[in-house]
Chains A and B, each alone.
Chain A
Amino acid sequence: DVKVTQSSRYLVKRTGEKVFLECVQDMDHENMFWYRQDPGLGLRLIYFSYDVKMKEKGDIPEGYSVSREKKERFSLILESASTNQTSMYLCASSPQTIRGKRRTEAFFGQGTRLTVV
């Protein structure tokens, strides 16, 4: 089974703290994603990566950065946490191709519920 593991299920941080959310996948997937999920807004893409050390901004990158030093690990960094970053954060991974065919399924971690106080 594909496993995407997020380091914490629940996290409480103070305003202004630097926060690291870690995500590890065990299926050698090229693509990795970070989303935040808020009621009524669905999953909004923060950043994604298609290879080691490669990163692309998603739709709401402001206030966030990412790091992908190893293929299996994709970290989300909140440089200075603010209360409006209180949310559920979801990490996902997907392969690009298998045997020449494009694979599309993304696998998600269980999420980290971050509260900034």
Chain B
Amino acid sequence: GQSLEQPSEVTAVEGAIVQINCTYQTSGFYGLSWYQQHDGGAPTFLSYNALDGLEETGRFSSFLSRSDSYGYLLLQELQMKDSASYFCAVRETNDYKLSFGAGTTVTVRA
């Protein structure tokens, strides 16, 4: 089996930087993904890390350390529209299985 741990809530002001950490325990790890979900919407893919290091996509960056079983999602220049739930997810079992954490609710205040 697997387990993923991430904080349940984060609150920050517009323009700030937020880091959402994710630690995982799994067998047959292939990579760590991040998804965003707005209220009432479907989760949408943000990023994926298979190797150690930082991946940058616009205002969002994701980091992975395989040796520490740890990753994070960095949200920069926060905007009101970034208020959403963010999930880390691991790919395992020959790259077929995709398991999610419980999610982090990010609230952006003016």
Contacts and interface: CB of A to CB of B under 8 A. Distances in A.
A100 to B, nearest CB: 13
Given A48-B98, A59-B99, A90-B42, A42 B87 contact: yes
Interface in B8-48: 8, 30-31, 33, 35, 41-45, 48
A94 interface: yes
A102 B87 CA distance: 21
A77 interface: no
B98 A45 contact: yes
Given A96-B95, A104-B48, A105-B48, A45 B42 contact: no
Interface residues of A, number: 27
B54 interface: no
Contact of A58 (B35, B42, B95, B97): B97
Interface string A83-111: 00000001010101000001011111111
Contact of B100 (A31, A35, A96, A105): A35
Given A90-B42, A104-B31, A106-B45, A40 B99 contact: no
Contact of A94 (B2, B44, B98): B98
Contacts of B58: none
Nearest to B42: A108
Nearest to A6: B42
Interface in B91-110: 91, 93-103
Given A59-B1, A105-B45, A43 B100 contact: yes
Given A42-B100, A102-B50, 17 more contacts: A41-B102, A42-B87, A43-B100, A43-B103, A45-B100, A48-B98, A56-B93, A56-B97, A59-B2, A59-B99, A90-B43, A92-B98, A96-B96, A104-B45, A104-B50, A108-B44, A110-B42
